[in-house]
């Protein structure tokens, strides 16, 4: 176990001590102890930066289940390190923020920090694992810890609903991903991502390639809240705000992005991958920004904004895959798409984290997050306002913040679709820049709405549950650090370009690097009068017009009835599957024994008869038959008529006597077939059985003693005749197709020599096969004890009730 492994599992290990610290040191907020973990990890991961900058990677292996090819392989490259630093860096800021956000007297802090640390470790495991099964294990850990964190205030109904919804959707995706992983293993024979990348060129023609691609993408799309699986994210906003800031803006929702980026070298050669990733991404971008405008809750706006921005990154990763098809060009424009994706990933984590913390501060200091009640807070909360305006302007893509730069690069990537003449992109590809532009307009509108409706406008403090005032300093530190980064990355983007972005892009597009192309990351603030610039100007102008006329067109959102929205479909589907399942079991499980017997006999005959038919198994062989003698025919007639009499008997006494007649005829058959011991036993046992039947008959309760003939039911008759027919057919064909002789000759030959007996049946029972007899005695013993117990111990249960 190397230090790197220890770093990944450190959050899990430290989570063990949290409850003791919480209970033992009640005066100190538990968060202070927790803060040490992400800080230490962040510092630890910084030391890998020089390594990855030079294109080196670090791999450490810890054997787990080597016989199945499952080992805990920690692999640090540019992409993994970028995510690891996001996770630990923002993790530290979120923990610091939560110390001031959650009161140590009122909240169950030990639960909160245990879940949070569990999540942090799981995320680190996802981004630093090279083995797909280990990656999947950590992936599900993030689902579980996210479930626990969303349901943190478990006494609230909405929290439980949101937690359940996110669990169902992300675990559905996770299981699909596991399917994809298994298919990849079948294709490549290894779980290691690096080894799979090495052999990816042969996968394209494999019949399992497309299913594996679809299943892996399903996992990525559900986790990263892509259309139509985005519906869990707005409901996950019931979690405490630090959780929303951490999980649902900066880290967990980017796990899907990470997976797409990580698996790009394996799948990105295919047309399907490019279209699915880019197409779903661009539509999610549009749909998220369109829906964000109508929200009235601060966190709901931010949730839809996150969905939309994740779509943006996803579409860039999809288009970046086109870079692989132009590897002969020197100036590869599609590489810019990948660079933009990585750059926007960092930018989004900074500004969205600060915006969530801002929303948390507003909620904390005013008591509401409803923008219809807020307004005019600018004078009371100037620092929070500054954070909000920087975050929102960056999100809207305004200069001089980092969002502007990545938005420009995004537009560059989208416009370059026009130059792409592969995969029909030259025709349908027009949609990409158009949707991107429309979505950017909506992004502008909701960003402006978010900050103006909250902080500017008419003050309406009488509607607020609390008297608003500026937040404590501790709460402001984390968002201030994040907006400082927004500005720093805005003015000096090249701080990131060689240290973080270039190694990450090299991990996403390794085949280009192998082919000798260099990744040139050079982000300019001013790049001349390009189409992108005019598009941005258009976005701002249209956005201002749309925002000022918001009241006039807002009603279009109410046109779709709830039933047809995705949430309506989800809720309806869930309740329909519940009622459907209930109805199905209610219909099948009637509680009557007859129904179950009908099921059993029908399946029994259906399977046997169809097998007989399909395999053409029925045969009659008359060569080996014994001759028919008159005694046996007569006895057979007696037996059959006695059995049939039972069916038509009016009184029960008749049926019992007929059953006795059947038993005695069987005994007579035994006589005719030369089986004296059987005949003896059968006679005695039939007598006792009939006596027992009569005992039961005698004790029938008065009410139901009314004797009646069994009612004829056609269904029962058909079923029972089918069973009888099946038995006859199978008996005849199995007798006709004997394949070898009996082993009885051995018993006949050795009955005296080896066992010193003359009665072969008895010798077999007590000597050759004595064990059967031993346990048959046990059966009788148990039956007699059972009968004794039933008769003797009565009424015990009734007394207890």
Alpha-carbon gap, residue 128 to 274, rounded angstroms: 25
Q: Say if residues 86 and 257 touch (Cβ distance below 8 Å).
A: no
Secondary structure class of 359 (helix, strand, coil): helix
- Give me the least distance between CB of 624 and other proteins, in Å please: 7
1-9, 336-344, 420-428, 673-681 -> range binding other proteins (CB under 8 A): 673-681
Q: How far is CA 397 from CA 359, 386, 441, 501, in A?
A: 20, 16, 10, 20
Residue closer to other proteins (CB basis): 386 or 689:
689
DSSP assignment of 122-139, as one string?
Answer: HHHHHHHB-BHHHHHHHH
501, 503, 507, 512: CA torsion to nearest 10: 90
Task: Examine residue 768 and say whether the peptide bond preceding it is cis (omega within 30 degrees of 0).
Answer: no
In the list 647, 650, 651, 754, the residue contacting other proteins (rule: CB under 8 A) is 647
Q: Say if residues 713 and 591 touch (Cβ distance below 8 Å).
A: no
Residue closer to other proteins (CB basis): 551 or 703:
703
Residue closer to other proteins (CB basis): 9 or 729:
729
Task: Examine residue 228 and say whether the peptide bond preceding it is cis (omega within 30 degrees of 0).
Answer: yes
CA angle 349, 262, 37 (to 5 degrees): 50
Residue closer to other proteins (CB basis): 46 or 647:
647
Q: How far is CA 574 from CA 83, 165, 614, in A?
A: 35, 10, 41
What angle separates helix 31-46 from helix 78-101, to the nearest 10 degrees?
Answer: 160
Question: Scanning residues 740 to 769, which ones bind other proteins (CB under 8 A)?
Answer: 742-744, 747-748, 751-752, 757-761, 764-765, 769
- Give me the least distance between CB of 477 and other proteins, in Å please: 57
Question: Scanning residues 476 to 495, which ones bind other proteins (CB under 8 A)?
Answer: none
**Is residue 774 involved in binding other proteins (CB under 8 A)?**
no
Question: Scanning residues 528 to 557, which ones bind other proteins (CB under 8 A)?
Answer: none
27-35, 98-106, 344-352, 774-782 -> range binding other proteins (CB under 8 A): 774-782
Residue closer to other proteins (CB basis): 487 or 671:
671
In the list 591, 630, 714, 739, the residue contacting other proteins (rule: CB under 8 A) is 591
**Is residue 601 involved in binding other proteins (CB under 8 A)?**
yes
Name the H helices within 296-374: 298-320, 333-366
Q: First CA to last CA across the chain, in angstroms?
A: 59
- Give me the least distance between CB of 209 and other proteins, in Å please: 49
Alpha-carbon gap, residue 344 to 315, rounded angstroms: 12
Quick count: other Cβ atoms within 10 Å of Cβ 74?
24
**Where are the extended beta strands (E) located within 111-175?**
none
- Give me the least distance between CB of 760 and other proteins, in Å please: 4
In the list 51, 144, 643, 654, the residue contacting other proteins (rule: CB under 8 A) is 643
139, 142, 144, 148: CA torsion to nearest 10: -170
Secondary structure class of 253 (helix, strand, coil): coil
Enumerate residues 6+ apart whose C-beta is below 8 A from 772: 765
Q: Encode 45-104 in three state secondary structure.
A: HHCCHHHHHCCCCEEEEEEEEHHHCEEEEEEECHHHHHHHHHHHHHHHHHHHHHHHHCCC
Question: Scanning residues 691 to 750, which ones bind other proteins (CB under 8 A)?
Answer: 692-693, 695-697, 699-701, 703-704, 710, 713, 716-717, 719-721, 723-725, 727-728, 731-732, 734-735, 742-744, 747-748
Residue closer to other proteins (CB basis): 388 or 657:
657
Question: Scanning residues 49 to 108, which ones bind other proteins (CB under 8 A)?
Answer: none
Residue closer to other proteins (CB basis): 106 or 794:
794
**CA-derived radius of gyration, the chain:** 38
**Is residue 681 involved in binding other proteins (CB under 8 A)?**
yes
83-91, 117-125, 570-578, 625-633 -> range binding other proteins (CB under 8 A): 625-633
- Give me the least distance between CB of 687 and other proteins, in Å please: 11
**Is residue 773 involved in binding other proteins (CB under 8 A)?**
yes
Secondary structure class of 486 (helix, strand, coil): helix
In the list 203, 227, 356, 669, the residue contacting other proteins (rule: CB under 8 A) is 669
- Give me the least distance between CB of 654 and other proteins, in Å please: 11
Residue closer to other proteins (CB basis): 551 or 779:
779
- Give me the least distance between CB of 656 and other proteins, in Å please: 7
Phi and psi at residue 61, to the nearest 5°: -115, 135
Alpha-carbon gap, residue 82 to 604, rounded angstroms: 61
- Give me the least distance between CB of 704 and other proteins, in Å please: 6
**Is residue 683 involved in binding other proteins (CB under 8 A)?**
no
Q: Exposed (0-12), middle (13-18) or buried (19+): which is 407, by Cβ within 10 Å?
A: buried
Q: Encode 601-655 in three state secondary structure.
A: HHHHHHHHHHHHHHCCCCCCCCCCCCCCCHHHHHHHHHHHHHHHHHHHCCCHHHH
Binding residues for other proteins, how many (CB under 8 A)? 98
147-155, 185-193, 267-275, 660-668 -> range binding other proteins (CB under 8 A): 660-668
In the list 215, 231, 409, 659, the residue contacting other proteins (rule: CB under 8 A) is 659
- Give me the least distance between CB of 574 and other proteins, in Å please: 23
95-103, 178-186, 415-423, 779-787 -> range binding other proteins (CB under 8 A): 779-787
CA angle 115, 254, 390 (to 5 degrees): 100
Residue closer to other proteins (CB basis): 538 or 786:
786
Alpha-carbon gap, residue 358 to 97, rounded angstroms: 11
CA-nearest of 449, 158, 405, 94 to 302 is 449
**Is residue 782 involved in binding other proteins (CB under 8 A)?**
yes
Residue closer to other proteins (CB basis): 103 or 703:
703
100-108, 309-317, 456-464, 786-794 -> range binding other proteins (CB under 8 A): 786-794
242-250, 326-334, 560-568, 662-670 -> range binding other proteins (CB under 8 A): 662-670
122-130, 259-267, 520-528, 668-676 -> range binding other proteins (CB under 8 A): 668-676
In the list 421, 685, 737, 754, the residue contacting other proteins (rule: CB under 8 A) is 685
- Give me the least distance between CB of 639 and other proteins, in Å please: 6
**Is residue 585 involved in binding other proteins (CB under 8 A)?**
no
Residue closer to other proteins (CB basis): 460 or 586:
586
- Give me the least distance between CB of 698 and other proteins, in Å please: 9
For residue 325, the number of C-alpha atoms closer than 13 Å in the C-beta half-sphere is 17
Question: Scanning residues 127 to 166, which ones bind other proteins (CB under 8 A)?
Answer: none
Residue closer to other proteins (CB basis): 561 or 758:
758
Structure tokens at 542: 């249209």
Structure tokens at 276: 């699915």
Quick count: other Cβ atoms within 10 Å of Cβ 605?
18
Residue closer to other proteins (CB basis): 430 or 731:
731
Secondary structure class of 23 (helix, strand, coil): helix
In the list 103, 551, 714, 779, the residue contacting other proteins (rule: CB under 8 A) is 779
Quick count: other Cβ atoms within 10 Å of Cβ 65?
11
């Amino acid at each position: 176990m190397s230090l790197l492994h220890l770093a990944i599992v450190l959050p899990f290990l430290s989570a063990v001590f949290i409850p003791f610290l919480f209970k033992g040191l009640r005066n100190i907020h538990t968060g202070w102890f927790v803060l040490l973990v992400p800080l230490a990890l962040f510092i630890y991961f910084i030391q890998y930066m020089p390594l990855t900058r030079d294109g080196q990677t670090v791999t450490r292996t810890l054997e787990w289940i080597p016989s199945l090819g499952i080992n805990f392989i920690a692999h640090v490259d540019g992409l993994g390190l970028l995510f690891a630093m996001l996770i630990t860096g923002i993790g530290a800021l979120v923990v610091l923020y939560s110390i001031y956000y959650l009161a140590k007297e009122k909240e169950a802090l030990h639960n909160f920090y245990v879940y949070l640390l569990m999540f942090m470790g799981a995320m680190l495991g996802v981004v630093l694992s090279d083995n797909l099964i280990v990656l999947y294990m950590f992936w599900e850990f993030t689902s579980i810890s996210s479930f626990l964190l969303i349901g943190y205030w478990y006494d609230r109904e909405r929290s439980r609903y949101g937690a359940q919804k996110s669990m169902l959707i992300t675990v559905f995706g996770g299981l699909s991903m596991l399917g994809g992983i298994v298919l990849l293993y079948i294709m490549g024979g290894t779980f290691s991502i690096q080894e799979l990348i090495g052999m990816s060129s042969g996968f394209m023609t494999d019949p399992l390639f497309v299913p594996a691609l679809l299943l892996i993408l399903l996992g990525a799309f559900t986790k990263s809240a892509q259309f139509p699986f985005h519906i869990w994210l707005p409901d996950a906003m019931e979690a405490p705000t630090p959780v929303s800031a951490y999980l649902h803006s900066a880290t967990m929702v980017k796990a899907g992005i990470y997976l797409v980026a990580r698996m790009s070298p394996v799948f990105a050669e295919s047309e399907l991958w490019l279209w699915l990733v880019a197409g779903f991404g661009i539509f999610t971008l549009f749909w998220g920004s369109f829906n964000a405008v109508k929200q009235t809750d601060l966190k709901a706006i931010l949730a839809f904004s996150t969905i939309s921005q994740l779509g943006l990154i996803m579409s860039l990763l999809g288009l970046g895959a086109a870079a692989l098809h132009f590897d002969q060009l020197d100036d590869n424009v599609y590489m810019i798409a990948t660079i933009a994706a990585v750059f926007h990933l960092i930018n989004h984590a900074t500004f969205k984290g600060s915006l969530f913390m801002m929303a948390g501060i507003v909620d904390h200091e005013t008591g509401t997050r409803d923008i219809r009640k807020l307004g005019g807070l600018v004078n009371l909360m100037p620092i929070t306002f500054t954070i909000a305006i920087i975050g929102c302007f960056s999100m809207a893509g305004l200069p001089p913040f980092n969002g502007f730069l990545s938005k420009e690069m995004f537009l560059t990537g989208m416009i370059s679709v026009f130059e792409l003449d592969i995969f029909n992109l030259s025709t349908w590809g027009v949609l990409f820049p158009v949707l991107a532009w429309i979505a950017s307009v909506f992004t502008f509108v909701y960003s402006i709405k978010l900050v103006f409706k909250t902080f500017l406008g008419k003050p309406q403090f009488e509607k607020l549950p609390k008297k608003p005032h500026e937040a404590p300093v501790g709460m402001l530190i984390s968002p201030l650090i994040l907006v400082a980064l927004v500005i720093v990355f805005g003015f000096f983007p090249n701080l990131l370009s060689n240290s973080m972005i270039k190694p990450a892009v090299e991990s996403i597009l390794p085949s280009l690097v192998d082919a000798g192309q260099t990744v040139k990351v050079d982000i300019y603030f001013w790049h001349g009068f390009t189409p992108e610039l005019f598009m941005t100007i258009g976005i701002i102008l249209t956005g201002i017009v749309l925002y000022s006329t918001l009241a006039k067109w807002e009603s279009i959102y109410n046109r779709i009835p709830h039933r047809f929205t995705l949430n309506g479909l989800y809720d309806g589907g869930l309740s329909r599957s519940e009622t459907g399942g209930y109805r199905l079991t209610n219909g099948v499980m009637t509680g009557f024994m007859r129904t179950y017997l009908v099921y059993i006999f029908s399946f029994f005959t259906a399977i046997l008869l169809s097998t007989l038919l399909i395999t053409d198994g029925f045969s009659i062989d008359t060569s080996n038959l014994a001759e028919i003698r008159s005694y046996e025919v007569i006895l057979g007639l007696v037996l059959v008529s006695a059995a049939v009499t039972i069916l038509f008997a009016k009184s029960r006494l008749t049926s019992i006597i007929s059953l006795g007649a059947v038993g005695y005829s069987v005994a007579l058959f035994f006589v005719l077939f030369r089986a004296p011991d059987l005949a003896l036993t059968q006679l005695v046992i039939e007598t006792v059985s009939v006596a027992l039947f009569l005992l039961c008959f005698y004790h029938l309760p008065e009410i139901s003693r009314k004797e009646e003939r069994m009612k004829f039911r056609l269904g029962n008759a058909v079923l029972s005749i089918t069973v009888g027919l099946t038995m006859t057919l199978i008996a005849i064909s199995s007798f006709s197709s004997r394949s070898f002789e009996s082993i009885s000759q051995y018993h006949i030959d050795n009955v005296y020599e080896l066992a010193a007996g003359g009665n072969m049946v008895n010798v077999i029972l007590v000597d050759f096969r004595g064990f059967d007899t031993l346990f048959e005695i046990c059966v009788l013993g148990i039956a007699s004890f059972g009968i004794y117990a039933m008769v003797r111990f009565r009424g015990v249960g009734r007394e207890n009730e």
